[in-house]
Amino acid sequence: MRFNTAEFGVLAAVAIIVIVTIWAPANNYFQGRSEINRLNESIAAKQAEKERLLEEIDRYGDEAWIREEARRRLGLIEPGEVAFRVIDPNMEVDPTVTTSAEELTADWTWYEILWASIATPPADDPGGVLMEE
């Protein structure tokens, strides 16, 4: 059986119409399936986060955990215990850490502070040249 040009054109037009008619619902279906999969993954992640948070809430009910966190975070000790602070003997006291009473009472504006910081060279930097020993 042979098709002439008109029959072939009609057959091609019908095939294109069928493909276009099927394409839109199929595309919507596959987009919907991918959206459902994405949302299911999101739900699973939220449930895992919920479980983690519920476990954390349960920890706050445990007296031993609360005591341990108070020791670790706040440095608290139990009655009868002795606290020790280990200080490195090689540490040097840095006098620039604290501020003097003059600095506290000085009511400088921001630009005066800025100018003083660049106009006065540091005491341990003679001539502004860094030298290695």
pTM of the model: 0.42
The pLDDT of residue 103: 64
Q: What burial letters (b/e) apply to 93-124, b meaning 16+ CB within 10 Å?
A: eeeeeeeeeeeeeeeeeeeeeeeeeeeeeeee
What tens-digit pLDDT sequence spans the chain (133 residues)?
677 888 888 989 999 999 989 998 999 999 999 999 999 999 999 999 999 999 999 998 899 989 888 888 888 888 888 888 777 777 776 656 566 656 655 677 778 777 877 877 766 655 555 544 4
The pLDDT of residue 133: 44
Cα 52 to Cα 6, 47, 48: the distances in Å are: 69, 9, 6
The pLDDT of residue 97: 58
Q: How far, in Å, CA of 96 to CA of 122, rounded?
A: 11
* The token pair that represents 66 in the structure block: 């609360």
